[in-house]
Amino acid sequence: MNKALRILGVLVLLAILATLALRYVPVRLTPPNEALAADWKAEPGRGEYVMRAGDCMACHTADGGSPMAGGRGIASPMGTIWSSNITPDKDTGIGNWTLDQFRAAMVDGVSASGAHLYPAMPYENYRFMSESDIRALYGYLMTEVKPVKNEVQATQLSFPFNLRFGIRAWNWLALSGDSAFKAASSDALQSRGQYLVEGAGHCAACHSPRTAFMAQDGTRVGDANFLTGGVLDGWDVPALRGANAPIQKWSTAELAAYLATGRNAHAIANGEMALAIEHSLQYLSDHDLSAMATFLKGLDGQAVQDVPTQVAMPGPRATPAADADQAGQATAKLLTAASPDMPLGARLYLDNCAACHFVTGKGAAEIFPELQGNTMALGKDPGPLVSVILNGTAVPSTDRRPMRLVMQGYADRLNDEEVAALASFVRSAWGNQASAVTPQQVAKARSAKHGE
Ligand code: HEC
Ligand code: HEC
Ligand code: HEC
């Protein structure tokens, strides 16, 4: 036989063996990362708290459906993945699952049937949760959630993504070896924050970039790209660390307030982040919110100041509108003078936006976000900014701050040229420095219809 043919034969044989191995060699499950007594019991309320920290309800509840009964479609580049029923119903939920089977789903992404779960279920992050939290969560789902019979629509992706055993190979590339928590700091508060951010909070699922295999590039503190910014539905997700991350200019207390309420003196959360706050983060204790803020502020080794003991204190917040600062003075003067030959973008801002965001671009703390230095306004990709101008947006409503203020959209009032001029103005006013926006980019955002 000729040599090339022989090599080809060996390769084909290896490919067949690899496929069979992927399919039939049993998966080695990750053991518990903490030794607990068999009769260990979580304190009352802990399981529900872990569920909130992990945001299980958001993905596992369909619009108008029963809590945790599944059937919410999660969009992925490969197609829609339907979330499972995780109520304790014995036929259609996880009522017959053992603790070990539940841990396998959370830590290794393996269902009780042995099938591999799609990583739309964020086990890349949940694997760092402690055994005690996993047991508390299991206890909560099994005993405190109402069993609901609901056969969830089967996920049907196209070939080769329909071959679930292929996810096993992906897991070899994507999952970092063990699941033990490794505190990066000796400070107890920062460690608690690290634990929540890396594990249950699954912040890296959106705030870390992705590798060529679509795995999270950076799931833990030591990873170079951890929380350096990601992409979601084609939109940039802000970096949370590094000198250029806007939140590193916020105080620790302001960052904690943002996580608790989606608003502070600088920004207001939109889209997926608003949902994460409404469904999950707002339920965390002041201690845990401070812990996460302290961890994020200290992530690159900075000293952390003004650690809050109480987050987003209630009380009158009607702070007077701030004066323009040095960088903002020229723009404020231009807008205040309102001369007839003002450039188009500035005039549109004055007519449509200044009533709320003010000529200073400073907005009003917790009510109208600051546009000077604003992450969304300055984004490399102007898509989110243009989309907010076109479609409007609403402030998240939380227990600590229930009022839901709304900004209406301008899609019907402004054409593509006008929105481009306005967005370009916002990106260059008050010392802002970001690229100009073209009418073509506006047209694209208009047809994309991204919404909340
Ligand atoms: C970002 C969305 C998302 C979040 C958040 C999420 N899940 Fe999931 N989960 C999914 C999807 C989607 C599936 C189905 C994956 C599949 O079919 O491969 C799933 C599957 C599961 C399964 C496997 C069920 C089965 O029948 O095989 C369990 C158990 C589970 N999730 C528990 C949880 C728990 C507990 C939490 C909160 C800590 C949680 N999930 C949070 C999306 C999510
Ligand atoms: C489902 C995706 C998703 C998850 C999960 C998520 N975020 Fe976000 N986050 C976003 C998006 C998108 C934005 C931008 C929101 C905006 O433009 O208003 C954002 C914005 C932020 C901001 C404000 C950044 C700025 O510069 O204005 C902070 C702080 C933040 N996230 C922290 C976190 C933390 C901490 C976690 C984990 C507990 C987390 N996020 C989990 C998607 C997510
Ligand atoms: C009636 C008051 C009002 C007017 C007028 C208004 N806005 Fe807003 N704007 C808000 C509120 C409230 C929010 C916070 C909602 C949110 O971000 O979830 C907001 C949010 C934004 C954001 C998102 C910033 C962030 O950090 O989340 C941008 C950008 C923005 N506005 C730009 C504009 C522009 C440009 C105009 C003029 C076309 C304008 N706004 C007109 C009230 C207003």
Ligand 2: does its nearest atom lie under 6 Å from the Cβ of 47? no
Q: What is the pLDDT, as a whole number, of residue 449?
A: 61
Ligand 1: does its nearest atom lie under 6 Å from the Cβ of 86? yes
Q: What is the pLDDT, as a whole number, of residue 319?
A: 64
Ligand 2: does its nearest atom lie under 6 Å from the Cβ of 419? no
Ligand 2: does its nearest atom lie under 6 Å from the Cβ of 206? yes
Question: Looking at the predicted structure, is the pLDDT value of residue 99 above 70?
Answer: yes
203 CA to centre of own chain: 5
Q: What is the pLDDT, as a whole number, of residue 435?
A: 97
Q: Does domain 326-448 have CATH number 2.40.50.140?
A: no
Q: How large is the average pLDDT for residues 17-36?
A: 86
CA dist., res. 392 & res. 398, Å (int): 19
Condensed to tens digits (0 to 9), the pLDDT of residues 195-241 reads 999 999 999 999 999 999 899 999 999 999 999 999 998 888 999 99
Instruction: Give the sign of the dihedral formed by CA 355, CA 360, CA 364, CA 369.
Output: positive
Nearest-CA residue for atom 7 of ligand 1: 121
CA dist., res. 126 & res. 185, Å (int): 21
Q: What is the pLDDT, as a whole number, of residue 403?
A: 87
Nearest to 240 by CA among 225, 254, 257: 225
CA-based R_g, the chain, Å: 25
Residues of the binding site for heme c: 56, 59-60, 203, 206-207, 353, 356-357
Nearest-CA residue for atom 21 of ligand 3: 369
- CA 15 to ligand 3 centroid distance, Å: 55
Q: What is the pLDDT, as a whole number, of residue 233?
A: 83
Ligand 1: does its nearest atom lie under 6 Å from the Cβ of 54? yes
Q: What is the pLDDT, as a whole number, of residue 396?
A: 92
Say which ligand is closest to the CA of 108.
Answer: 1
pTM of the model: 0.91
Say which ligand is closest to the CA of 237.
Answer: 2
Ligand 2: does its nearest atom lie under 6 Å from the Cβ of 238? yes
Say which ligand is closest to the CA of 70.
Answer: 1
Question: Looking at the predicted structure, is the pLDDT value of residue 450 above 50?
Answer: no
**What is the pLDDT confidence band of residue 4, given thresholds at 50, 70 and 90?**
confident
Ligand 1: does its nearest atom lie under 6 Å from the Cβ of 94? yes
Mutation probe of ligand 3 site: the residue of 237, 348, 349, 357 with most atoms within 8 A of C-beta = 357
The kind and range of the H/E element at 407 are strand 406-407
Ligand 2: does its nearest atom lie under 6 Å from the Cβ of 247? yes
Residues whose CB is less than 8 angstroms from the CB of residue 234 and which lie 6 or more positions away in sequence, other chains included: 383, 448, 450
Ligand 2 closest atom vs CA 374 = 27
- CA 229 to ligand 2 centroid distance, Å: 9
Which amino acid makes up residue 370?
E
Residues of the binding site: 56, 59-60, 203, 206-207, 353, 356-357
Of all residues in the chain, what percent carry a pLDDT higher than 90?
Answer: 76
- CA 153 to ligand 2 centroid distance, Å: 30
Q: How large is the average pLDDT for residues 4-17?
A: 82
Nearest-CA residue for atom 35 of ligand 1: 56
Say which ligand is closest to the CA of 385.
Answer: 3
Question: Looking at the predicted structure, is the pLDDT value of residue 142 above 70?
Answer: yes
Which amino acid makes up residue 276?
A
The kind and range of the H/E element at 235 are strand 235-237
- CA 273 to ligand 2 centroid distance, Å: 5
Condensed to tens digits (0 to 9), the pLDDT of residues 251-308 reads 999 999 999 999 998 899 999 999 999 999 999 999 999 999 999 999 998 889 889 8
Copy the structure tokens of residue 274.
């608003």
Angle at 449 between CA 348 and CA 244, to 5 degrees: 65
- CA 417 to ligand 2 centroid distance, Å: 30
CA dist., res. 287 & res. 276, Å (int): 18
Question: Looking at the predicted structure, is the pLDDT value of residue 452 above 50?
Answer: no
State how far the alpha carbon of 289 is from the alpha carbons of 189, 234, 256, in Å. 10, 29, 5
Q: Which residue(s) pair with 451 in the sheet?
A: none
- Return the minimum-mean-pLDDT range out of 138-142, 366-370, 422-426: 366-370
Ligand 1: does its nearest atom lie under 6 Å from the Cβ of 247? no
Please identify which residue in the block is written with the tokens 């369909």: 62
Largest distance between two CA atoms of the chain: 88
Nearest to 364 by CA among 233, 267, 296: 267
Ligand 1 closest atom vs CA 50 = 38
Say which ligand is closest to the CA of 73.
Answer: 1
DSSP 3-state of 220? coil
- CA 14 to ligand 3 centroid distance, Å: 58
- CA 17 to ligand 1 centroid distance, Å: 31
